Amino acid sequence: MKDLQELFVHFLRDIYYAEKKIAKTLPKMARKAESADLKEAFESHLEETEGHIAKLETVFELLGLKARGVTCAAINGILEEGDEIISEAENGDTRDAGMIAAAQAVEHYEITRYGTLVAWAKTLGHKGAIAPLEEILDQEYAADKKLSSFAEKRLNEEAA
Ligand code: ZN
Ligand code: FE
Ligand code: FE
């Protein structure tokens, strides 16, 4: 990676790959979710994720680049771990708890990447890229917050 511009493009490709993987995984998670709220959250985040892919494509276009992903070992690892948690859970309730945790790991990865991409778009003067990347970042934060509220609700229900 010779300079920040190259690193920026690399990170864009990394998250593009990650978003596509996430879009493939979310329907499976929605199908396996026991609670209707969680199912709905996965379905609505799938719609948002498809929007993220489209927004990234506009950023590539803006930079005069072809939209293309590069393998992201981090998201592959996070999703693989999620798969393990899901397949090993002995009941629906435990599986839901595991899926919330796995999905939050995904959101946190996305948040760190988009946070960096926004900062670098500013540094590099890619003015048109800032807003779409910030919009995605906001949706990732909101998705994470929603998952946190589900996790808390579960704890409260258990305590009651
Ligand atoms: Zn996303
Ligand atoms: Fe990555
Ligand atoms: Fe996300």
| Ligand 1 mean position, distance from CA 87 (Å) | 24
- All structural domains of the chain, each given as residue ranges with its CATH number in brackets, are 4-159 (1.20.1260.10)
| Ligand 2 mean position, distance from CA 156 (Å) | 34
Closest CA to 56 of 110, 5, 123, 124: 110
Evaluate if residue 128 carries a pLDDT over 80: yes
Q: What is the pTM of this model?
A: 0.95
The pLDDT score that the predictor gives to residue 158 is: 78
DSSP assignment of 5-40 equals: HHHHHHHHHHHHHHHHHHHHHHHHHHHH--SHHHHH
pLDDT one-digit tens code per residue, 53-68: 999 999 999 999 999 9
pLDDT one-digit tens code per residue, 19-53: 999 999 999 999 999 999 999 999 999 999 999 99
| Ligand 2 mean position, distance from CA 108 (Å) | 12
| Proportion of the chain above pLDDT 70, given as a percent | 100
Q: Which tokens is 131 given?
A: 């807003």
Evaluate if residue 1 carries a pLDDT over 80: no
The amino acid present at 132, given as its one-letter code, is: P
Cβ burial, residue 138 (10 Å; 0-12/13-18/19+): exposed
